[in-house]
Amino acid sequence: VTIDNDSTVNTVYGKQEGACKGYNPDHRGEHSYHPLLAFVDRTQEVLNERLRPANCYTGKGVNEFIEDCLSNLPAHIRGVTIRGDSGFFDDDLLDKIESYQSKSCTYLIKGKMRNLDRVLADQEWEQSIDPDIMTCDFEYRCGNWQRARRFNGVKVKTDKTDHLRMVFRRINEWTDQRL
């Protein structure tokens, strides 16, 4: 089971309880909510949702949110993969996901780091089957994290330039799997 997690912005009109001004790229200055959502990838069923005011950071409350997702799954479900954007890039959250051994949890989360370009420049890149894509795998310990974790970098060549993306993941038994 793959669980896709993300936040979104919902503009509201009138005086809705809990709504406030915050990040809202389409309707700047309008009151809105910034909910967290979790979907089962295969069926697009909503597994969890949390309504939050617009002025909260995208990663606020993600630890408890993911814990609710995992604890609400039926006991027989194994092989759970948590996917998320950079708002879910948090050491405590990754520790929480790793602690769910009964669910055989893995994760695929977009990383965010201040020194990303430097870290990726130091890696050994491998050509993928697609001539416009290169990948790398490496271990790295971010800032105040307790330990290093495995990262995958993806370099995509476009007409204008190479775009670097970093994806952070834990794969358990599939140590040679590539994105």
Q: What is the pLDDT of residue 172?
A: 42
Q: Is the pTM of this model over 0.85?
A: no
Helices (H), 1-111: 62-72, 91-98
SS3 call for 121: helix
CA 124 to chain centre: 24
Least confident of 10-19, 101-110, 129-138, 153-162: 153-162
SS3 call for 162: strand
Residue 175 DSSP one-character state: T
Tokens of 53: 């005011």
Tokens 């330990």 correspond to what residue? 147
Name which residue leads in pLDDT, 110 or 168: 110
